Structure 1
Amino acid sequence: MYLEHVNLVASDIDSMLKFYRAVFPHWSIRSEGRGDWHGKPRRWVHFGDDTHYIAISDHGEGENRNLSGHQIGFAHFAYVTNNLSAVVMRLNKVGFTVSKQGSENPFRKNVYFIDPAGFEVEFVEYLSDVPSERNNDL
């Protein structure tokens, strides 16, 4: 079993694609369309590769959850990379900056970005193949 996709509701698909294209330069739009969602028109895209994608719809209203608060809701999601510096550089190049650094740890490096819809996305590079080291709380 594996996670196939996440479905993010935003207000601007093009700004979301700018962010995620920098993260995943090898991904493309797998499919897209228009429709109605509970009485409101929406555009949607599936951006990804052959096995994983992000579904993005543009019918969002209002602001995303306050990430520094204690509201119930989506906190963040994370992607593992073999080259964290390259991901950060690609995102910086298109105008996005690190929102917070991960904690110091000898077995991993991680950073957090906020995408254009306000979702927090973590990127982590593991420096160990040992699960107990990768997941420690040092």
Structure 2
Amino acid sequence: MYLEHINLVVADIEAMLKFYRAAFPHWHVRDEGQGEWNGKPRRWIHFGDDHHYIALSDHGEGANRRLEGHSVGLAHFAYVTNNIEAVTARLNDAGYPIAKPGATEPFRKNVYFIDPAGFEVEFVEYLSDIPAERNFNQESQR
């Protein structure tokens, strides 16, 4: 089993595409269309590759949850990369600063960005194929 897609309701699809194209330059718009959601028109797209994608719909209203708060909702989602420096450089070059550096861990590197809709996205590079090392957390060892 694996996660095929995540469906995000946003206000501006084009702004989201700018961010995710920088993160995933090999992804493309797989499908798109228009429809209605509970009486409100919306445009939607599926942006990804042959195996995974992000579904975006532009009928969003209001602001995303405050990430520093305690509201129920999505905290973040993460993607594994084999080159975190390249992802970070592409996002920085596209104008997206690092929102939060990851923890210093011996078997992984990670970094957090905030996409244009206010979703926190983590990118992680594992430095080991051993599950116990990949899941190692120095904080839990203290």
TM norm structure 2:
0.96
1:80 Cα deviation after fit: 0.4
CA distance in 2, matches of 1:57, 1:78: 20
Amino acid of the residue matched to residue 44 of structure 2? W
Q: Which runs of 5+ in 1 are unaligned?
A: none
List aligned pairs for 1:49-128, cutoff 5 A: 49-128=49-128
Q: Deviations over 1:112-136 (max 9, x none)?
A: 0000000000000111111111111
Residue 133 of structure 2 is matched in structure 1 by 133
Residue 21 of structure 1 is matched in structure 2 by 21
Q: Structure 1 stretches (4+) deviating beyond 2 angstroms? A: none
* 2:45 is the alignment partner of 1:45: yes
How many equivalent residue pairs? 138
Give the SS at the match of 2:33. strand
Q: Deviations over 1:8-52 (max 9, x none)?
A: 011000000000001110110000001111111100000011111
CA distance in 2, matches of 1:112, 1:125: 12
TM norm structure 1:
0.98
